[in-house]
């Protein structure tokens, strides 16, 4: 794994990945993320002129569906874009400018103004760029929501240019910096969109995608620990690894039951801390981000069938979201204190693997009756939530590919939201709408607890049947959150979706990073919980 960490050492300073070679080494050979991180992106005030158009290889332009007058520089191509009649909302059309550069014009026709629709349109536009290497790409929006449309195209361009890990016969060639990235991205706007945050958010999403896509023999617990440690050093984060021995001393019986079936004793809980310059001596975080990091899930003794187990290397997506969000917050110099807690293990079979009807004891003393060994995510999160709660954060957010029932309920288009603090729902729902990562709030009333009552322990791990398991999972997790702490749980049913989602065209979407950053930086949720 460490051989991935040794290229592209002379990168310019970037607000997300930093300025030293070490950060730029944290890419697999097939990923252009380091090159993208150093791609100059500039905002040019004023209208796009003919000379500027002539200097572009490609122009991505968002056009309102009812546009009547084109910019002067696009007048010559306007008729060709409309040659097939009036465009439909969400349609993308492509033509070439009649200049020596033969600039490729990709026009997306916008109607609805919600962020998800903006991102989806931007994703379709970027796919029309294909695999060609572009020296200069321009971005222009002629819509009333100009800055939002530009930021959506920036996100889509980063997602389109990104490459997931590849280990085929072309691996040696892929180690070289790829030529596909544009030499420069030029944004034409008089309103100065927030490109720093837009780019950091996009690259955070790509980091989560990269980690989630890594094969299980490339990203075992030891390799993940090394990656986390290197990222922590680069971004000035505190880092502590609680190994199995430490967790045994802490009484983390639920986590250790899951990790007992692993062949290697390398599982653990990672704890990372970000403190702004003004709060370096502060111990209690404003927010704690908790992520499920099950690196491969066989189902344990309740073994999954072939199709159910095939993609279970992605069961650590929640930890990737929590980690990438904290890295982005540090890169953006967030003015509040934040922690990340990552529960990192596998769920394997073997002589020591835990069994149905085992009784476990968590860090906070709650005893758990095991019902099904394929409900391991809530067990590793139980101890991780309890440990995070001891630091007295004002807000706890956990991210987990926790249940199949949530995906059955929502498909892969949205993720399930649960909270113990209904007063925070306006901010939580607004973050989903504004980020374009849509969430749906499910009930978690106390009477659901009757389905997970136990005769031999404080609580049953799950119900014997799968009805409402996403709700039961949330009710179970709530027992490990301090009663006076605001908490929200995101069941990541949209972490993986065939064909992609929104502006991301790969099955692995990185869902959750945009939501979390919008929630923490774009809403007043911390102001509410910090009163």
Q: Of the residues 135, 178, 304, 528, which is catalytic?
A: 304
Q: Quick one: CA torsion of 3, 508, 516, 474, rounded to 10 degrees?
A: -110
Q: How far apart are CA 40 and CA 284, in angstroms?
A: 37
Q: Among 378, 438, 475, 497, which one carries the catalytic annotation?
A: 378
- Judge contact between 396 and 421, C-beta under 8 A: no
Nearest-angstrom CA–CA distance, 294 and 381: 10
* Burial label, 441 (beta-carbon count in 10 A; 0-12, 13-18, 19+): middle
The two structure tokens encoding residue 513: 């990073």
Among 432, 27, 435, smallest CA distance to 201 is for 435
Q: Is 378 a catalytic residue?
A: yes
Gap between the Cα atoms of 339 and 290, Å rounded: 8
Q: How many CA atoms lie within 13 A of 241 on its CB side?
A: 18
DSSP percent split of the chain into helix, strand, coil, nearest 5: 40, 20, 45
> How many residues in total does the chain contain?
531
CB atoms within 10 A of CB 142: 19
Q: On the CB side of 379, how many CA atoms lie within 13 Å of its CA?
A: 35
**Neighbour-count burial of 172, counting CB atoms closer than 10 A to its CB (0-12 exposed, 13-18 middle, 19+ buried):** exposed
Measured CA to CA, the distance from residue 2 to residue 28 in angstroms comes to 9
CA dihedral sign of residues 155, 156, 160, 161: negative
- Residue 361 bears catalytic tag: no
Cα-based distances in Å from 240 to 191, 227, 264, 305: 43, 13, 20, 36
Query: Per-residue DSSP letters for 109-132?
Result: EE----HHHHHHHHHHHHHTTTT-
440 dihedral zone (left: phi>0; alpha: psi -120 to 50; beta): beta
Which residues does the annotation mark as catalytic? 304, 378
């Amino acid at each position: 794994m460490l051989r991935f960490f040794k290229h592209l050492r002379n990168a310019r300073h970037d607000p997300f990945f930093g300025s030293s070679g070490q950060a730029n080494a944290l890419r697999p050979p097939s990923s252009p993320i380091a090159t993208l991180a150093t791609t100059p992106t500039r905002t040019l005030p004023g209208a796009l002129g003919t000379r500027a158009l002539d200097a572009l290889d490609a122009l991505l332009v968002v056009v309102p569906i009812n546009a009547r007058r084109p910019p002067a520089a696009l007048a010559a191509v306007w008729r060709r874009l409309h040659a097939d009649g009036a465009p439909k909302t969400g349609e993308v059309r492509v033509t070439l400018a009649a200049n020596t550069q033969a600039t490729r014009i990709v026009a997306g026709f916008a109607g609805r103004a919600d962020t998800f629709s903006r991102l989806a349109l931007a994703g379709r536009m970027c796919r029309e760029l294909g695999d060609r290497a572009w020296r200069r790409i321009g971005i222009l929006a002629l819509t009333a929501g100009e800055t939002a449309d530009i930021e959506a195209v920036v996100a889509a361009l980063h997602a389109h240019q990104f490459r997931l890990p590849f280990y085929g016969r072309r691996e040696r060639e892929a180690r070289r910096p790829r030529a596909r990235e544009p030499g420069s991205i030029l944004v034409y706007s008089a309103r100065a969109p927030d490109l720093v945050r837009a780019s950091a958010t996009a690259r955070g999403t790509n980091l989560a995608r990269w980690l989630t896509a890594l094969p299980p023999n490339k990203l075992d617990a030891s390799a993940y620990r090394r990656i986390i440690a290197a990222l922590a050093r680069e971004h000035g984060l505190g880092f502590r690894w609680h190994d199995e021995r430490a967790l045994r001393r802490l009484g983390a019986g639920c986590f250790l039951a899951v990790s007992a079936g692993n062949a290697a004793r390398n599982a653990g809980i990672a704890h990372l801390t970000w403190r702004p310059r003004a709060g370096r001596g502060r111990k209690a975080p404003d927010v704690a981000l908790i992520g499920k990091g099950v690196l491969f899930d066989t189902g344990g003794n309740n073994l999954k069938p072939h199709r159910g187990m095939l993609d279970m290397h992605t069961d650590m997506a929640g930890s990737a979201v929590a980690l990438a969000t904290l890295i982005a917050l540090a890169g953006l110099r967030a003015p509040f204190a934040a922690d990340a807690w990552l529960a990192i293990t596998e769920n394997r079979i073997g002589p020591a693997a835990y069994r149905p009807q085992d009784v476990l004891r968590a860090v906070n003393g709650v005893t758990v009756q095991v019902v099904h060994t394929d409900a391991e995510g809530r067990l590793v999160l139980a101890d991780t939530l309890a440990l995070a709660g001891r630091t007295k954060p004002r807000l706890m957010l956990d991210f987990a590919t926790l249940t199949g029932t949530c995906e059955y309920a929502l498909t892969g288009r949205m993720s399930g939201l649960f909270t113990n603090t209904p007063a925070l729902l306006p901010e939580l729902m607004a973050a989903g709408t504004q980020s374009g990562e849509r969430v749906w709030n499910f009930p978690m009333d106390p009477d659901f607890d009757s389905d997970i009552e136990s005769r031999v322990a404080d609580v049953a791990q799950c119900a014997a049947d799968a009805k409402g398991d996403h709700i039961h999972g949330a009710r179970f997790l709530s027992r490990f959150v301090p009663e006076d702490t605001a908490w929200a749980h995101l069941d990541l049913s949209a972490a993986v979706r065939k064909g992609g989602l929104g502006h991301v065209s790969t099955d692995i979407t990185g869902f959750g990073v945009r939501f979390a950053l919008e929630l923490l930086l774009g809403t007043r949720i911390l102001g509410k919980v910090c009163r």
